[in-house]
Structure 1
């Protein structure tokens, strides 16, 4: 039964995910896998010392949670060992400060690496999805 489930997952991965090495630099950093569209996108980002599985969700223009979250925010979720951690971040603010606030469990080096991957690869790709 486990082999059948594994085979089904492999078929679905080929159907829905673009990759491996979807958009990577010569040093093997960048987007390994991508799936989704502008409303919800999944990125598997390879850094020099970490792998980040990032889920980005665009909220509706009039979303109100504990405070107003509108068109200038994205929901950034990191998938880590069957757990999802993250929160809303403004796309108009300094990414380093926003990611430090959203991911307090990450070390400073990990946040810097994630911000670097976001700015060099994922943000550019995500911006193309919106257009």
Structure 2
């Protein structure tokens, strides 16, 4: 059996990871996102007639869709931060660096890697 086929047959897309948030002294659990979920988030973040994507909203939606714990849709959490929805809760509850760290981890877990890493892998 070919190595690529064998790898795909034995692989799972149900990936989770814990990310430590020092300020909160706890771990957040995130899951990998599939292409369909990412496209739905992109569609939700598309604004205006020109079809531009609000990148900040897109990032917050990715966090909402990836977060297993905490659940930013939780009513008590949204009420605590006086958030209008889960994406607004992410904006109000997290510091910019925490937001950035989660996005980087979500993208890496979902299979996105830096171009430099791709080039290095291709060389080896």
Q: Which bracket does the TM-score occupy, shorter chain normalised?
A: 0.3 to 0.5
TM-score (norm 1): 0.34
Structure having the larger proportion of residues in strand: 1
TM-score (norm 2): 0.36
Computing the radius of gyration from Cα coordinates, the structure with the larger value is: 2
Q: Compare relative contact order (CA 8 Å, sep 6+) and give the higher one, 1 or 2.
A: 2
Structure having the larger proportion of residues in helix: 2
